[in-house]
Amino acid sequence: MGCHLWTVTIVSKEEMDTLFDGGEGNEVPLGLTLTHECRICVRDDPCESVRWHAFWHEFVHVLTASAGLSKIDKNEDLVELLGMLIAQAQQTME
């Protein structure tokens, strides 16, 4: 993956549904990493802490994939835990 400039965009639920290729009946995610575009999308949730949690979850995907840690990147439970811990650290700093 190497060094690239990543962008983060806040998108509506409808736009996220369009971007997400999860198939019929799957819930629209709160966040999505579009690796080929070097873009993290976060759904425009009314709760700011939910948006930050989704961002950090997706950021962990980017970080681990960029570092060649594909086993971690593909482990959703671990990515979720790491994202949650970073989000909690951020919230307690404020």
| Domain extent listing, the chain | 7-93
> What is residue 46's predicted lDDT score, i.e. its pLDDT?
86
pLDDT digits (tens, 9 = 90+) for 26-37: 788 999 999 989
Beta-carbon contacts of residue 49 (< 8 Å; ≥ 6 apart): 87, 91
Query: Residues of 49-80 as b/e, b for ≥16 C-beta within 10 angstroms?
Result: eebbbbbbbbbbbbbbbeeeeeebbeeeeebe
Residue 41 has pLDDT above 60, yes or no: yes
The pTM (predicted TM-score) of the whole model is 0.88
pLDDT of residue 2: 57
